[in-house]
Structures are given as C-alpha cells and as structure tokens.
Amino acid sequence: MKKSVSIIGGGPAAMMLAAKLDSKKFTVSIYEKNNALGRKFLVAGKGGFNLTHREELEVFVGRYHPNYFLKQAVSDFSNVDLQKWLKELGIDTYAGTSNRIFPVKGTKPIEVLNSILNAIENNKVTVCTGYKWVGFANDNSLIFESKNQIKNVNSDIVVFALGGASWKITGSDGTWLDYFMKRGITCLPFEASNCGYKINWPSGIIEKLEGKALKNCQFKSGVTSHAGEAVITSLGIEGSGVYPLGYEIRKQLSEKNKAELLIDLKPQNTLEEIRLKLANRKNVSLTRYLEKDMNLGETKTLLLKALLSKENFTDNKMLAAKIKTLPIEVTGLAPIDEAISTVGGVSLKEIDDHYQLKKIPNHFVIGEMLDWDAPTGGYLLQACFSMGNNLAHYLNKN
C-alpha cells in the first residue's frame, strides 16, 4: 500500500519536494493556508527573480551559514541542475552580468510558477489550499483550520515547509514557531537577514543623500567583505553590497549592540595612490577635485564631507585614509517584515542529516523555516529547491 505524505506550506521547498516524490510509492498532499501556492515566490519574481547563481560549487556552498548543512543538498542538486530542471519544465534561464541567473527576458514570474505547478499536478499531488496548520494534536496528528472548521489529518510522513517570517502578507508569518516550541523543539527567535541596517546619520545627510547609491564600493564588517553598491536610506543603508555582511553585523549587534561597517569608497586604488592624487591637486576646489578629477562622484564626496570634521576633510593624509576606510556605526537591523529573508526558526540541532526531527520521527523540516542564512543572489531559492530535491530523493529510496 502507498504511504501518505503531507507537506505543510506551499513555497519553493515544498513544491520541489512535491514534484519529485515518487507517486507510485506515495500519496502526496500539500496543505497551504493561502488560496494559492508560491506567493512569496511571486514576490521574489517582482524583485528581479534571481533563481540561482553561476558560480563554482565550492564557492557557492561557501555562501551559506553554516555551509556544512547545505553542502550535500546543493552538491546533489546544484545551480546547473536547477537550470536543467527548469528547462525541462519549459523555462529557459540566463546569467546576468553579475552571474545571477534569471528566467529569460519576457518570462513572467507567474509562468515560472505555473510550470512548477504543472509538474506537481502531473505528479498526481493533491493541493489543499485554505488549510492553515494550527498545531499538533495529542496523538501527533496535524490540526488544520479550514473554512472555519477544525480538521485533523493523520499521515505516515509529514514535511513542514512553512517558510521564515518576513513579508507576512505572503503567508510566511512564522506563527508556527509556537507549535514547535510547545512540542519541545528548540527554535531560535527570527531575525531579519538581507535587510537594511540602521545608522544614525548626522543631521543633513538624509535631506541631501536619501535614495542615492554608493556604487563600486568595497563593504566590510569583521572578517566579511563584499564589493558592490548600497543605497543611503532614512533608516540607514541597504543593498546587495551590504546584504552579505548580515551574519557578521548580527553577531556584533548581539555582542555589543552596535556593529562596524567599513566602506572603501575607491577599492580600485591603493591608499598610496589616493594620497598621491590628493597631493597633486592644484588650484581646483577640493570638492570638485574629489568629484570630477578623482572620480568619486557627488554622493561619495558629500558623504565624506558630512561625516568628517572640516579639519579632517582638508587634511590630505586623513582624507585619503577615510576614502579607503570610512567607518560607520550600525545600530540595528531593519524590521523583520521588510527583510528579504529571516534567520532563526527550527534549530539545526533538532534535525538529522535528512531534515528529520529527532524528537518526532517521520516528521521533516525543510526550507527557510530552518536556522540557516545566505545572501541574496539566488542562494536562498537554490537552497530551498535543493532541500526539497534532497528529501524527495531520500524518501523515494527508503
């Protein structure tokens, strides 16, 4: 007789699992509280839809925190495998200049989602929408609320794929955390990741620089450094150049209530080269010289002017040092709901190598609801797809 598999939550991790489980062996149902699957996937679609990243596997795996945890899943179903799978479903992809992989131009996010939903349908999966999981019954069955009724579901195998806790409007609200804690499963509080960082900008900066981008910079915090750009906001700073520093910034914030962000405004030049350039200024005004002759541009120059005392700004040695290392104090993270992803959730100590809860056999947890982290750039979706694939492979074999 076929075993029953209940998958709770209908995001990318769940969809991949549902598409790959062996329908000759299992009767598979997805329970999703929204009226449709993949709402956060569609939101990701609006923001560029970075499905994965073109990068050597070893480097790719190194992007995750902790990376031991995702090494197997991402090696077994890599960025190349994800692109092949999508192609089989009719979705062609391409690598942008930043090596980010997107669906080819003209492909709407809903088309990508519909192709995956077709694969799920072809795999004879039952999709139950409008089913909100509200906890475990005493006999371990799953309790759902659906159309104002309570329904209990028993299943041979249960897989939770309930997502993190940002962008609650998409359904991923993290309320499941209480049900797990009540069952004695250790969960860590959610924190924002891939988010803006709070900075108490001195007065006057926001009026002049809000929405302006610091392009071609090297951003550093602790041991982590990343090249890219970030936008100055009324909250502080945000963007793909600073997202990868999240792990380090969160660590420093939890230890010291503040974190240090260092910006190299001219990574293509050494300190010595910058000193020489500054020394060569003749009768041009310093502001103009920085903006035009040294190619710093208006935003970087205004930022230096606003953050340095007049004495330091006009001292060539000090100015050169600050162009190479501009220290900025981060005082906090953006609100969780605005973050692209969250860390926290089910502790990795609670699961075995196959995502199975050690305290509740035959119950598995995959996707963003586990406590791992990755920068934007396609690593989040890749990890969720890889975990779904990996678990399907394991269940199909056993």
Ligand X SMILES: Cc1cc2nc3c(=O)[nH]c(=O)nc-3n(C[C@H](O)[C@H](O)[C@H](O)COP(=O)(O)OP(=O)(O)OC[C@H]3O[C@@H](n4cnc5c(N)ncnc54)[C@H](O)[C@@H]3O)c2cc1C
Q: Is 78 in the site for ligand X (CB under 6 A)?
A: no
Report DSSP letters for 118-184, one per residue.
Answer: HHHHHTT-EEEES-EEEEE-TTSPEEEEETTEEEEE--SEEEE----SS-GGGT---THHHHHHHTT
Other beta carbons within 10 angstroms of residue 285's beta carbon come to: 9
Stretch that binds ligand X, among 105-113, 155-163, 239-247, 317-325 (CB under 6 A): 155-163
Task: Candidates 48, 66, 211, 327: give the one binding ligand X (CB under 6 A).
Answer: 48
Q: Provide the residue type at 50 as one letter.
A: N
The minimum distance between CB 14 and ligand X, in angstroms, equals 6
Which 170-199 residues touch ligand X, going by CB under 6 A?
A: 171-172, 176
The minimum distance between CB 112 and ligand X, in angstroms, equals 12
The minimum distance between CB 171 and ligand X, in angstroms, equals 2
Strand order in the sheet with 52-53: 52-53, 100-103, 93-95
Stretch that binds ligand X, among 163-171, 222-230, 282-290, 319-327 (CB under 6 A): 163-171
Q: Which two tokens stand for residue 62?
A: 């190194």
The answer to whether 265 touches 217, Cβ cutoff 8 Å, is yes
The minimum distance between CB 21 and ligand X, in angstroms, equals 15
In terms of CB distance, is 109 or 297 closer to ligand X? 109
Distance between CA atoms of residues 143 and 126, nearest Å: 18
| DSSP state, residue 290 | I
Distance between CA atoms of residues 10 and 19, nearest Å: 12
Q: Is 163 in the site for ligand X (CB under 6 A)?
A: yes
Distance between CA atoms of residues 3 and 195, nearest Å: 41
In terms of CB distance, is 298 or 337 closer to ligand X? 337
Gyration radius of the chain's alpha carbons: 24
Task: Candidates 341, 356, 389, 390: give the one binding ligand X (CB under 6 A).
Answer: 341
Q: Is 14 in the site for ligand X (CB under 6 A)?
A: yes
Q: Is 40 in the site for ligand X (CB under 6 A)?
A: yes
Please, what is the angle between helix 12-20 and helix 109-122, to 10°? 30
Stretch that binds ligand X, among 31-39, 70-78, 210-218, 285-293 (CB under 6 A): 31-39
In terms of CB distance, is 170 or 225 closer to ligand X? 170
Q: How far apart are the first and last CA of the chain?
A: 15
In terms of CB distance, is 86 or 161 closer to ligand X? 161
Stretch that binds ligand X, among 35-43, 203-211, 245-253, 355-363 (CB under 6 A): 35-43
In terms of CB distance, is 236 or 345 closer to ligand X? 345
Q: Is 243 in the site for ligand X (CB under 6 A)?
A: no
Which 118-137 residues touch ligand X, going by CB under 6 A?
A: 132-133
Q: Please state the separation of Cα 369 from the chain's center in Å.
A: 12
Stretch that binds ligand X, among 76-84, 85-93, 278-286, 373-381 (CB under 6 A): 373-381
Stretch that binds ligand X, among 12-20, 224-232, 250-258, 276-284 (CB under 6 A): 12-20
Q: Which two tokens stand for residue 168?
A: 């609650």
Other beta carbons within 10 angstroms of residue 223's beta carbon come to: 7
The dihedral built from the CA positions of residue 239, 318, 260 and 206, taken in this order, carries a sign that is negative
Stretch that binds ligand X, among 17-25, 161-169, 293-301, 356-364 (CB under 6 A): 161-169
Residues near ligand X (CB under 6 A): 8-14, 31-34, 39-41, 43-44, 47-50, 132-133, 161-163, 166-167, 171-172, 176, 340-341, 367-368, 376, 378-381, 384
